[in-house]
Structure 1
Amino acid sequence: MATNERCAACGGPLLGNYYTLIDRPERYCHGCITTRLRCATCGSPLGDQHWKLHDGRQQCGLCHATAIYEPQVARAIFDETVSALVAYLEMRLNVGVAFRLVDAPTLEGIRAAGSSHPPRGFNTLGLYQRRGHIRAIYMLYGLPRLTFRTTVAHEYAHAWQGERCPLLSDHELREGHAEWVAYQHLRWLGCHKAAERMLTAPHPYRKALERLMALERQLGVQAVNPYMTRVE
């Protein structure tokens, strides 16, 4: 190994074995991969230069570089994402959905008050919730831009399901469809590598997504949403 290769966290020389994360070029020494605190968003070991958000989360430099903190910026990207889903997948809602940018304790409190539970080992990044006549998507502030958009797409799909197929009780189908919408949004953005990672990387909704991809191959992209409205 070349002597100028260094650990992305501590900056020390990489002598012998090193460690990487899936689809990330950074390399880490054994000490940093096993003992360093991790970025709350991507899970990478934190270097000496990192950011601590007011709700206690710690963010690596790479995530911080594209993170969304301002409510006005978040609202604009939320609207762009929804407009894209309406234009490409015809996912217009008859009743609109409100948008709120919140911190981690607030999002956790909203989640705890409802019936939603994140998969074991995963944090809640966004949440759709209906309380009476109020329908809202809550998004965690400080998410990198692409993570923000895919999470909005996923949660907007749940809002759409609540209006178009409210009696659907198949949890795997509901989550698979929400992931499929996020996948389609990545492709619409031209982020084909990120979309491919959704199909190959280990994550709790991968099996559900694979089910929807099989449905897409059978019916075609534009027939998936109409199928969802009939299957309940």
Structure 2
Amino acid sequence: MSNYCHLCGRPLAQGLSIHVHPEHPDHQLAVCGHCHKTAPRCRRCGLPMRADMSTGANCALCAAGAPRCRSCGSPVTGSYVEINGLGPYCRTCHETRQHCSVCGVPLDARARYLPDGRAICATCQQTAVLEAGQAKSLFDWTVQAIQTALSLGLRVGVRFVVTDHPGLRAQIQKARPDLIYEADRLLGVYVREDPHRTIYVENGLPSILLIQVVAHEWAHAWQMENCPTPQEMLIVEGFAEWVAYKVLQEMGAVKKMGLMAARPDLYGEGLRLMLAREERKGIPGVLALCLARAQPDKAQTPAP
């Protein structure tokens, strides 16, 4: 054991304290009485430390073993944020940085900025659909997947239009003015203006999210042709989410399916209602519920 304080370097005298790191028992500090009382403490392990050798509010050992913020790269040793299972992100980045317009994570230097002001994180960029031709191919694939999985089809086809955020917002305001306050959160909308029926989807979405949005809006087109109106929103949105869920199931997109089913809002509640119905009565039972004028017993809705 050293005869000198590991922090200030003075000879050890009365008041000697020995500190052992809780996660590294071989790391021991001999500390004089003065440093024991006055030295800053690591926020994570509680050991005294030299301020000039610490990393933020933590000692070097704790900082080295801590996870790193996915945005700034700094050690995360205190509270942190996870967004849809992605993280950790430090509180500073979460509160001060612009967030990805798709997944909501704090952005870093790799962000891509679109002409309408939206920004996409590096992860979402990997599969972002920015070309109209690619988007149309995914639209066609999604429609075929719905027909294969659920045997659903439209008597009158729909047009497919990819637009930027202001363009989508304008269509929402025109077709569904009641949803204008939610327009910044919506990624697609089905618009019926005789003789045209059109699905509008925001550009720049990752491919799997684009497929999900297309399936959801296509389901609304099917509802407009086949289901009674007006109908409870729990059924309207729950069925559309269920159609999208079934398409993702065809793809094996288990993580995305889990996020959909865990949503605490109307969309998640409606999806859970449809999944419970499917478990009891199969796909025909879900379709029968949506085609009937009777409303569901809300007591049957599974808890979130």
Which range moves more in the overlay, 76-85 or 222-231? 222-231
Q: TM-score scaled to structure 1, two decimals?
A: 0.92
Cα distance in 1 for residues equivalent to 2:184 and 2:63: 36
Corresponding residue number in structure 2 for 1:215: 277
| Partner deviation per Cα, 1:128-177 (whole Å, 9 max, x = no partner) | 01001100100100001111111111000000001111524222211110
**Rg larger for:** 2
**Aligned position for 2:154:** 93
1:76 corresponds to: 137
Query: TM-score with structure 2 length normalisation?
Result: 0.71
SS at match of 2:64: coil
Q: Equivalent residues in 2 for 1:1-232 (5 A)?
A: 1=62, 3=64, 5-24=67-86, 26-115=87-176, 117=179, 120=182, 123-231=185-293
| Structure 1 residue 196, shift from structure 2 partner | 1.9
Taking the aligned partners of 2:183 and 2:219, their CA distance within structure 1 comes to 23
Equivalent residue letter for 1:36: R
Out of 140-149 and 168-177, give the one that drifted further.
Answer: 168-177
Distance in 2 (alpha carbons) for counterparts of 1:83 and 1:229 = 22
Moved more, 74-83 or 208-217: 208-217
CA distance in 1, matches of 2:264, 2:209: 16
What is the alpha-carbon distance in structure 1 between the residues aligned to residue 98 and residue 215 of structure 2? 29
Bigger relative CO (Cα 8 Å, ≥ 6 apart)? 1
- C-alpha displacement of 1:230: 3.2
Q: Which runs of 4+ in 1 moved over 4 A?
A: 118-122
Report the CA distance between 1:33 and its aligned residue: 1.3
Ranges in structure 1 where 5+ consecutive residues have no aligned partner: none
RMSD: 1.9
Q: CA contact under 8 A between 2:234 and 2:266: conserved in structure 1? A: no
Percent identical pairs in the alignment equals 36
Separation in structure 2 between the aligned mates of residue 126 and residue 89 of structure 1, nearest angstrom: 22
CA contact (8 A) 2:237 2:267 kept: yes
Contiguous gaps of at least 5 residues in structure 2: 1-61, 295-304
Deviation of 1:23 after TM superposition, in Å, equals 1.7
Cα distance in 1, alignment partners of residues 108 and 143 from structure 2: 35
1:168–1:231: 8 Å Cα contact kept in structure 2? Answer: no
Q: Secondary structure at the match of 2:205?
A: coil
Count of residues in Structure 1 that have an aligned counterpart in Structure 2: 231
Listed one character per residue, the Cα deviations across residues 62-99 of structure 1 (whole Å, up to 9, x for unaligned) are: 11111000000000000000001011101111111110
Separation (CA, whole Å) in 1 of partners of 2:253 and 2:220:
22
CA distance change for structure 1 residues 196 and 110 in 2, over 3 Å: closer, same or farther? same
Q: Distance in 2 between matches of 1:119 and 1:149?
A: 24
Distance of 2:226 and 2:154 partners within structure 1: 8
> What is the deviation of 1:2?
5.6
How far apart are the structure 2 equivalents of 1:189 and 1:164? 26
Which letter maps to 1:86?
Q
Q: Contact (CA 8 Å) 1:3, 1:14: kept in 2 or not?
A: no
